[in-house]
Amino acid sequence: MQQDALKVEGISCGYGRAMILNSLSLEIKQSQCVAMLGKNGMGKSTLLKALCGFLPKKQGEVYIEGKRVTHYKPHRIARLNLAYAAQEQAIFTELTVKENLSLALAHPDTFDQVFIPVGHLFPVFKERLSQKAGTLSGGEQKMLLVARCLIQRPDIIFLDEITEGLQPSVIDRIAEALDWERRSHGTAMFIIEQNIGFALRVSDRYLILKQGRIVDSGDSKAEGAAKKVYGYLTV
């Protein structure tokens, strides 16, 4: 039986007395991509922060690769070879592109070798490794976040609203990179999105989050999936 890359059992959490997530459960198999969609304020980013240890859980359990990590701090979660691109642009603007990418490596001296496939996926960085990341365009900075996830060779990737504000050509480049990563390494992915087309394109399954609860789920490639999801996000 295929092991879960991520399993969440009935977690509830929030800020102070305000509960944002209510008894939420989900699972992602190894090499599977699951997209969670929902309007703003429904708890999508809160969920990722809870899974990464930045927000304590009031109840429930979280397992990554079969390991119970419910009360792990963020640094212990990171050691499980999980890559996370937060909605807030988490690049270091005063560092170069290469230095930003190297932060994801346990052994920075391997950079030249592990950068080869990433350079093919994002050729814009091949000649710009010494450029300060803060001088990149908004789309290039988003691609840098994804590239930093991929160069880590993670077992699971969390992406939070990675396509927000991006032009179609950059979205296509990111989608192609994620498809390549899954085909090549079987990496599991959990994607938080509002871009329906992108989310259904890269994922196997979708989940709809509404007021802290998953209210629907389905096959991303099923006929009528886009129309069904669109209905939830526009009502």
What is the maximum alpha-carbon separation in the chain?
Answer: 51
Q: How far apart are CA 57 and CA 11, in angstroms?
A: 6
Q: What are phi and psi of 234, to 5 degrees?
A: -115, -10
Q: How far apart are CA 31 and CA 216, in angstroms?
A: 22
Q: What is the pLDDT of residues 99-136, one digit of tens each?
A: 999 999 989 999 999 999 999 999 999 999 999 999 99
Domain 4-234: CATH superfamily, name plus number: P-loop containing nucleotide triphosphate hydrolases (3.40.50.300)
Mean pLDDT of 71-82: 92
Q: What is the pLDDT of residues 215-235, one digit of tens each?
A: 999 999 999 999 999 998 886
Q: What is the pLDDT of residues 14-34, one digit of tens each?
A: 998 889 999 999 999 999 999
pTM for this entry: 0.93
> Is pLDDT at 201 greater than 90 in this prediction?
yes
Q: What are phi and psi of 28, to 5 degrees?
A: -130, 125
Q: What is the pLDDT of residues 151-171, one digit of tens each?
A: 999 999 999 999 998 999 999
> pLDDT at position 232, please?
87
